[in-house]
Structure 1
C-alpha cells in the first residue's frame, strides 16, 4: 500500500476522533474533517465512504492491536508479572487518538451499529479480563482485573483540575497496578 495513502488514512482517523470527542459524533461532518486536514471532501471519500466507516476502521485497527496483545499475553508464562505487563501494554495502546476512541466507545457515542463488531469488542474485553485475572474462579481477582482496566480508561478522560494527559495516565496506571497486584499468598 502506498505510504502516503496509509498516512492520509491515519490522519483522517485521528482528526475525526478528535472532532467526534470535541463536537460530538453526530455534529461532526466529513466536510469539517476534510477542512481540518486541508484536503477536499473527495479526498476523504477516496479513503472512507462515511464517518461511520472512519469510526469502524479506527475500532478495527485498535482491536487488531489488542488481538496482538492478547496473543502475546496468552503465549507468555502465566503469573502476576505477565498480568502486570499486559496491563502496561494495554495502557500504551490507550495513548493518542486511541484514548479518544476508548472514551467514545465507553460513553456509547456513537452507537456501534454493527452487531459483529460489538460482539468482537465484547469478546476482546472478556479475553483481556481473563488474561488479567489470576487463575481459578476467584471473584475478587476477576473484579480486580475489571477495576484495573476501568482505572486505565478513566485515565484517558479529561479532568480540568489535572489537564496533563501524561500525569493522568501515569496515576491511572499506578492505581491499576496496585489494584491488580496479588495479595499475600496469591499467585
Structure 2
C-alpha cells in the first residue's frame, strides 16, 4: 500500500476513535486494532497519538494556510475579502471532522501545540478581512463574519433545512457583515 494512503487511513481512524471515546481514552493499540495492523506498522508512520493529531491538523489546515497566503497577495478590496470568506467556508467544510474534535476535546487542544497555531490563523485571517482604520463597530462586523462561519459549522446542524440552503445562508450573512463594514 502507498504510504500516503496508510497515513491517511491512520488519521481517519484515529479521528473517529478520538471523537467516539475522547483523545485521552484512545490508545495507539486501539487505533492499530481498528485498522487491523500491528502497532509496529502504526509506529512506522506515527510515534505518538500527538504525532497523529498534529498530522491531521496540518493536513486539514493546509487549505486555510494556502488561503491566508493567497489573501496576503491580493489587493485589499471588498471583493478580495468576500472571496476570502467564500474560500474560507470551503476550507472549513473540508476540515469539519477536525473542528468537531477540537470542540469536544478543548482541554487537550489547549495542551497541544495545535491550539495556539489555530488561534494565530484566526488572528491573521481577521486582519486580512478588516482595515486598521475601520470604526470599532466595523471591525467587530468583520470578526463576526468569521465567527458566523464557525457558528454555521457547529450550530446549523441542529436547524432543520436543506444543507446547501443553510450553507448559502451562512455565507450570505457573513458577506453582508463584511460589506456593511466597508460601506459604513
Tell me which interval the TM-score lies in, with the shorter structure as reference length. 0.7 to 0.9
Larger deviation, residues 8-17 vs 103-112: 103-112
SS at structure 2 position matched to 1:26: coil
- The CA distance in 2 between the partners of 1:164 and 1:13, in whole Å, is 30
- Name the CA distance, whole Å, in 2 between partners of 1:32 and 1:139: 50
TM-score between the two structures when normalised by the length of structure 2? 0.80
1:136 alignment partner in structure 2: 133
Asked if the contact 1:148/1:175 (under 8 Å) is kept, the reply is yes
Partner residue in 2 for 1:125: 122
Deviation at 1:36, TM superposition (A): 3.5
Matched, 1:85 2:83: yes
Match of 1:43 among 38, 41, 44: 41
Q: Is the counterpart of residue 157 in structure 1 residue 161 in structure 2?
A: no
Deviation of the 1:118 alpha carbon: 3.9
How far residue 137 of structure 1 moved from its aligned partner, in angstroms, is 4.1
Structure 1 residues 157 and 163 mapped into 2: Cα distance closer, same or farther (>3 Å)?
A: farther
Deviation at 1:59, TM superposition (A): 1.9
Q: Give secondary structure in 2 for the equivalent of 1:49.
A: coil
CA RMSD across the alignment: 2.8
What's the CA shift for 1:165? Answer: 5.4
TM-score, normalised relative to structure 1 = 0.79
Which sections of structure 2, spanning at least 5 residues, go unmatched? none
Deviations 1:18-44 (A, max 9, x none): 332233222323233334433333322
The match for 1:99 is 96
Instruction: Give the direction of change, closer, same or farther, for the CA distance of 1:166–1:109 in structure 2 (3 Å limit).
Output: farther
- Where has structure 1 moved over 6 Å in runs of 4 or more? none
Of Structure 1 and Structure 2, the greater helix share is in: 2
- Which whole-Å deviations, capped at 9, do the CAs of 1:144-177 have from their partners, x for residues lacking one? 2222222222232273454875554443323322
